[in-house]
Amino acid sequence: MAAQTEESDTAREQTKAEQDVDQVRQRAARDQQRLDSGAVTNPKDLENLQSEIASLAKRQGDLEDIVLEVMERRESAAARAAELGERVEAVAAKVQDATGRRDAALGELDAEADSARKERETIAAAVPADLLKLYDKIREREGGVGAAKLFQRRCEGCRLELDITGLNELRAAPADEVVRCDNCRRILVRTPESGL
C-alpha cells in the first residue's frame, strides 16, 4: 500500500512538473513569436524580451531535469509496487493452499472424532453403568485419561512403577476385578505384558 501510494504521489508530482514545463514552453513561444513578428521595435524592450526568452529556456531546462528525476522515482516506485504486489499474490496463494489443507485436515479429524465417538458409544453400552461412571469421573479429573495400561509393572498413565506390595495385590486380584493405580488412581488395564 505504501509503495502504491508512493507511485501515485510521484505520478501527481510528475504531472505537475510537466504542466510547469508546458507553461514555461508556451510563454517562451509567445515571447519568441512577439520577437519574430517585429511588433517590438524599442531596443530596450527587444533586449528585455531576448533576456526573458533566455531565462525561460534555462528555467525550462531546470524543470525538464526535475521531470526526469521524478520519472525515475516513479519508475522505481512502480517497480517496487509491482514486486510487492507479486509477493502479496504469492503469499495469498500460500494462505489459500494452507487454508485448504487445514480445512481438509479438520474434516478428517471431525470424521475420526465422529467414528471414535460412535465406537465409544458402542463399547460403553456393553460396560456396566457403575464402572462407566467411575471411568468418566477419573477421566474428567485426569485430563481425559481414565484408564491406563499396566505395562511391565509400570502404570502408563502416571509412568510410575508400582511397588512390590501393589504388584502382589494385583497378582492376587481376580481377572474381572477393577483395579486402580495407587499413585494416579486411574483404572489399570492388565494384559499379558503387565509383568505380573
Q: Does 115 fall in a domain? A: no
pLDDT tens digits along 65-124: 989 998 998 898 889 888 988 999 999 999 999 999 999 999 999 999 999 999 988 988
Mapped onto helix, strand or coil, the DSSP state of residue 130 is helix
Give residue 93's pLDDT: 95
Whether pLDDT at 195 is above 80 = no
End-to-end CA distance of the chain: 70
Domain-terminating residue out of 74, 106, 138: 106
Q: Does 62 fall in a domain? A: yes
Local confidence band at 42 (pLDDT 50, 70, 90 cut-offs):
confident
Distance of alpha carbon 96 from alpha carbon 153, whole angstroms:
50
Give residue 168's pLDDT: 86
**Residues 83 and 174 placed together within one structural domain of the fold:** no
- Residues pairing with 187 in the sheet: 147, 180
**Residues 79 and 7 placed together within one structural domain of the fold:** yes
Count how many domains the chain has: 2
Average confidence (pLDDT) over 166-190: 87
**Residues 17 and 54 placed together within one structural domain of the fold:** yes
Average confidence (pLDDT) over 134-138: 89
**Residues 91 and 170 placed together within one structural domain of the fold:** no
Q: Does 121 fall in a domain? A: no
CA nearest to 77, candidates 19, 18, 12? 12
Mean pLDDT of the chain: 88
pTM of the model: 0.44
Which residues form the domain of 11? 2-106
Give residue 109's pLDDT: 96
The residue that leads in pLDDT, 61 or 36, is 61
Query: Could you give the C-alpha distances from 14 to 28, 59, 176, 191, in angstroms and in order?
Result: 21, 16, 90, 84
